[in-house]
Structure 1
Amino acid sequence: MKSILEALIFASPEPLTPKAMFKLLDTEPKEDVQAALAELKQDYDRPGGLQLVEVAGGYQIVTRSDLHDWVRKLFHERSTQRLTVQALETLAVIAYKQPITALDDTEIRGVNTAGVLNTLLERGLNKIVGPKQVVGRPFLYATTREFLIRFGLNDLNDLPKVEDMAEALGLDVPILVEQPTREEDLPLAEPEVEEPGGSIH
């Protein structure tokens, strides 16, 4: 079963979740599938060109990070596929402060980020999660599962420390540190209504 599981993980275009494994191997006891996965992890816990990683709640077989430069030579990765520094900065702000509006992001970075946000939406790295309950009801943005996959994260708890990310992008640490909620960001209060007799609610 271990070889079957390995083939499924390798062939899957997205991280293969345990739930998907159980469904694909529904004729096998779940305990046996879990045991095969544990053995497979041990097999890949060794020096080699490939590694089994847990990403976005699932598993992928990928090349080791220290060999990426060699793999890029094979695929002749085009520069157009890479994110710009501006896009990475915006994505970092969203990742650490989500959900966040375009205006909040613009105020944090000091530049208009509308175009960058659209680019990230097109690439599936961020998404609109709903309106913010303030005047104008602006859209709130958050990261996606594709973001986790692209950056090799199992969940948002795997994000690097704020200080490390800020240093890598050349940002000031306070930009990525959570700030107190501003009064204008609070939900609008219901207007007071005067009832007959003079009482106000």
Structure 2
Amino acid sequence: MDRKRQVGKAEMQQSPLLSTEARLVEVILFLENEPVSLERLSKMTSLSEETTRNAITELQEHYRENLHGLDLAESQGAFQFLPSSDLHDKLRSCYGRRVDRRLSRAALETLSIVAYSQPITRREIDNIRGVSSDTIIRLLRDREYIKVIGRKDVPGHPCLYGTSRKFLFEFNLASISALPKLSDIDRLRFEAEPTQEKKEEA
């Protein structure tokens, strides 16, 4: 056995083995195309939510400490595997150009509103921007930066929009919580006046 194989074997022996629960969660997240919530993972694995959460923590530590090509990221209470942040620049040439070269200022503004205010309806986006966002929302959906993540429980049940896995990857974010903090001015700007939807809900 050459030295390279000996080193690799030694590293494998030193790397802690994953529990059966962690391996089960790992394969489910690998097979799913979308982020999976803790509640759904618990049901799919037939494990308690506490055991499932412990398995996720075990996986996150395992992937972080052993320099894998993937990170187990959490976004809005759901979990998914994403490319490790240190590999993003190497992957961009194969999997896409920079976002800011493809999106207009208005599109970037709308995408920012969705990212910081999600889940959010089209009317709420319009209220913040002061203009109709129909065309831009269609564009962002076509390019898979945003998606419908539910419906608001008000008359008409309007779609609720949120960001996608592609958005996180393109902006080099492990999760939504990694977004830069808004300035006081921007935070106030994103706090629009109550829309008719909210008034009806009240």
TM-score bucket of the superposed structures, by smaller chain = 0.5 to 0.7
1:168 matched residue in structure 2: none
Matched, 1:14 2:37: no
Alignment-derived partner of residue 55 in structure 2: 36
The corresponding residue for 1:5 is 25
CA offsets 1:147-189 (integer angstroms, 9 cap, x no match): 154335766x76532229xxxxxxx74773536669x99969x
Secondary structure of 1:162 counterpart: coil
Structure 1 segment 27-176 matched on structure 2, within 5 A: 28=47, 32-46=51-65, 48=67, 49-75=69-95, 77=96, 82-96=102-116, 98-99=120-121, 101=123, 103-107=126-130, 113-122=133-142, 123=144, 125=146, 142-144=160-162, 147=163, 149=165, 150-151=167-168, 159-163=179-183, 173=186, 176=189
Q: CA contact under 8 A between 1:87 and 1:116: conserved in structure 2?
A: yes
Per the alignment, in what secondary structure is the counterpart of residue 13 of structure 1? coil
TM-score by length of 1: 0.57
CA drift at 1:14:
0.9
Q: For the structure 1 residues 93 and 176, does the alpha-carbon distance in structure 2 shift closer, same or farther, using more than 3 Å as the test?
A: farther
Provide, for residues 85-125 of structure 1, a one-character-per-residue CA deviation record: whole Å limited to 9, x for no partner: 32111222355565563653453xxx764421332354472
- How many angstroms apart in 2 are the aligned matches of 1:9 and 1:74? 23
The 3 A distance-change label for structure 1 pair 10 and 83 is farther
Q: Kindly name which structure, 1 or 2, has the bigger radius of gyration based on alpha carbons.
A: 1
More helix by proportion, 1 or 2?
2
Q: 2:44 aligns with which of 24, 28, 39?
A: 24
How much is the aligned-residue C-alpha RMSD, in angstroms? 4.4
Which runs of no fewer than 5 residues in structure 2 stay unpaired? 1-19
Letter in 2 for 1:104: N
- Identity within the alignment, %: 23
Q: How many residues align?
A: 168
State the SS of the aligned residue for 2:82.
strand
